Amino acid sequence: MKTIIALIATILLIPLAQSADDKQTVLIVVTNYGQMPDGKTTGLWLAEATHPWQKFVKAGYQVHFASPKGGNSPIDPRSTKKPDAINDQFLNHKAYQNALKNTKVLKDLDPNNYAAIFFAGGHGTMWDFPNAAGASEIAGKIYSQGGIVSAVCHGPAALVNLKLPDGTLLIKGKKVTGFTNSEEEKVGLTKAVPFLLEDKLKSQGASYSSGEDFKLHTVVSDRLVTGQNPASAGPAAEAVIKLLKNSR
């Protein structure tokens, strides 16, 4: 079975192993935070990185991974409990696993090298994304020079303090979504997280909307793309791809 999975992964994701210097590059940012203050294990919600990665690669884009501190991005074990073919493909290839174990340091990157930035979610992001070094400098510059900024689920935690080069908040006056207060309550982590993402996005001047809990909901506002929850990860990436292709 593992051999079959590996073969399928090779067929679907083989572009990752190819050199394509002429391709545009998308930067996926993931968390370094693996344990909540109360001791609960957290980290990256794996599908919120792997599903967008596959979408971007199949559309012909290169993908790099970064995190606030660089190095390993811990995977929330809850995110691997349910069957997920794309996660299986990812986890059965050392090269793909290494992309999460050896992420680039966000603040050290040159925004001119990226056409889009995608902040993947997971509860860990609620602690290290809001004040991540380099987030405004990289994402703000990407946006100001015509690129795409995107985030899914708890990934929009990166947007709450994210500023453009002129000092204004990127999300002010823009339509956004993200993990809802209701969804947070249903997973039992309302008291564990440092703030409620829905409330924070609203308080900073964003026009927040949501769909049904745990169902697909994405929002596009100019060149800002956000997805509400894990079900929205792949579709949010597709929205980014559509914007990138239309900008050519």
What pLDDT is stored for residue 22 in this prediction?
Answer: 52
Evaluate if residue 7 carries a pLDDT over 50. Answer: no
Domain count for the chain:
1
In a domain, 227, yes or no: yes
Contact 228, 177 (CB under 8 A): yes
What pLDDT is stored for residue 79 in this prediction?
Answer: 97
- Residue 30 φ then ψ, to 5°: -125, 165
104 membership: H or E segment, kind and range: strand 104-105
Query: Of 183, 184, 198, 217, which is the active-site residue?
Result: 184
Q: What is the pLDDT of residues 214-233, one digit of tens each?
A: 999 999 999 999 999 999 99
Query: Of 153, 183, 198, 217, which is the active-site residue?
Result: 153
What tokens does 121 get? 């979610």
What pLDDT is stored for residue 12 in this prediction?
Answer: 45
Confidence class for position 3, pLDDT limits 50, 70, 90: very low
In a domain, 167, yes or no: yes
Q: pLDDT higher for 89 or 229?
A: 229
What pLDDT is stored for residue 15 in this prediction?
Answer: 43
CB neighbours of residue 51 within 10 Å: 25
What pLDDT is stored for residue 59 in this prediction?
Answer: 97
Active site residue 212: no
Q: pLDDT higher for 113 or 4?
A: 113
Q: How far from 209 is each of 177, 195, 213, 217, CA to CA, in Å?
A: 5, 18, 12, 9
In a domain, 15, yes or no: no
What range defines the domain where residue 133 resides?
A: 2-10+23-246
In a domain, 210, yes or no: yes
Full-model pTM: 0.92
Active site residue 185: no
In a domain, 213, yes or no: yes
Evaluate if residue 68 carries a pLDDT over 70. Answer: yes
Evaluate if residue 2 carries a pLDDT over 60. Answer: no
Contact 47, 78 (CB under 8 A): no
Evaluate if residue 20 carries a pLDDT over 50. Answer: no
Find, among 243, 242, 245, 240, the residue nearest to 52 by Cα: 240
In a domain, 200, yes or no: yes
CATH number at residue 225: 3.40.50.880
**CA 105 from chain center: how many Å?**
15
In a domain, 18, yes or no: no
Question: Beta strand pairing status for 224-227 and 218-221?
Answer: antiparallel
In a domain, 106, yes or no: yes
Query: Of 51, 93, 123, 154, which is the active-site residue?
Result: 154
Active site residue 184: yes
Query: Measured over all CA atoms, what is the biggest interatomic distance in the chain, rounded to whole angstroms?
Result: 54
Q: How far from 140 is each of 26, 70, 85, 155, CA to CA, in Å?
A: 15, 19, 34, 16
